[in-house]
């Protein structure tokens, strides 16, 4: 446990939501899990989940040392939203239930569906930048640290 973490403090939970849970939300969850480890409970889901994670997303994440090939899209449930402290929507529109006391962030990002890895890379980089900023907002102090194979710190995040 790092000195920045208070052992009595509850572990925050974050839910990433997009339509198919095959691209943006998978990348967000993977970056947060990779960077925060067990300091944050991470979930992802989709309002209309696909059968598999987008292959271009799998390839783009592998380029930065994160393997999402075994992940499967999951359906968004009311329980997932209720049990999360922060809900990050990524283009799911009004399908995400809203509950009092939750923090909602809407990250407007291009949808990687049907695009190749060259188009997914900038989306991946923007998600990584935003996840690093989120880490700082959660008080985990990890926002500017680099993991193996990851991009450069986003000082303006």
The 3 state secondary structure assigned to the chain is CCCCCCCCCCCCEEEEEECCCCCHHHHHHHHHHHHHHHHCEEEEEECCCCCCCCHHHHHHHHHCCCCCCCCCCCECCHHHHHCCCEEEECCCHHHCCCCCCCEEEECCCCCCCCCCHHHHHHHHHHHHHHHHHHHHHCCCCCCCCCCCCCCCCCCCC
User: pLDDT tens digits, the chain, 157 residues: what are they?
Assistant: 444 444 456 899 999 999 999 999 999 999 999 999 999 999 999 989 999 999 999 999 999 999 999 999 999 999 999 999 999 999 766 667 777 888 999 999 999 999 999 999 999 999 999 999 999 999 886 544 444 444 433 333 3
Distance of CA 44 to the CA centre of its chain: 7
Whether residue 8 is contained in a domain is answered as: no
Find out whether 88 and 105 touch, Cβ atoms under 8 Å. Answer: yes
Annotated active-site residue 43? The verdict is no
Whether residue 157 is contained in a domain is answered as: no
**Catalytically annotated residue among 15, 18, 57, 127:** 18
Annotated active-site residue 86? The verdict is no
Annotated active-site residue 147? The verdict is no
Q: Residue 119 belongs to a domain with what CATH number?
A: 3.40.50.2300
State the pTM of this model: 0.83
Our CA angle for 97, 106, 46, nearest 5°, is: 50
Taking alpha carbons only, the member of 54, 145, 39 closest to residue 85 is 39
Domain total of the chain:
1
**Catalytically annotated residue among 30, 42, 76, 96:** 96
**Catalytically annotated residue among 92, 117, 127, 135:** 92
**Residue 121: which domain range?**
13-137
């Amino acid at each position: 446990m790092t000195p920045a973490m208070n052992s009595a403090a509850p572990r925050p939970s974050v839910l990433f939501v997009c339509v198919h849970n095959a691209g943006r939300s998978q990348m967000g969850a993977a970056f947060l899990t990779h960077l925060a480890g067990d300091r944050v409970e991470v979930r992802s889901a989709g309002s209309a989940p696909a059968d598999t994670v987008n292959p271009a997303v799998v390839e783009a994440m592998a380029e930065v040392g994160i393997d999402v090939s075994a992940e499967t899209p999951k359906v968004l449930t009311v329980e997932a939203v209720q049990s999360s402290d922060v809900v990050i929507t990524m283009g799911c529109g009004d399908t995400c239930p809203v509950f009092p006391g939750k923090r909602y962030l809407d990250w407007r990002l291009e949808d990687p569906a049907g695009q190749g890895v060259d188009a997914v890379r900038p989306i991946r980089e923007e998600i990584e930048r935003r996840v690093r900023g989120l880490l700082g907002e959660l008080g985990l102090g990890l926002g500017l640290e680099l993991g193996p194979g990851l991009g450069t710190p986003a000082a303006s995040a």
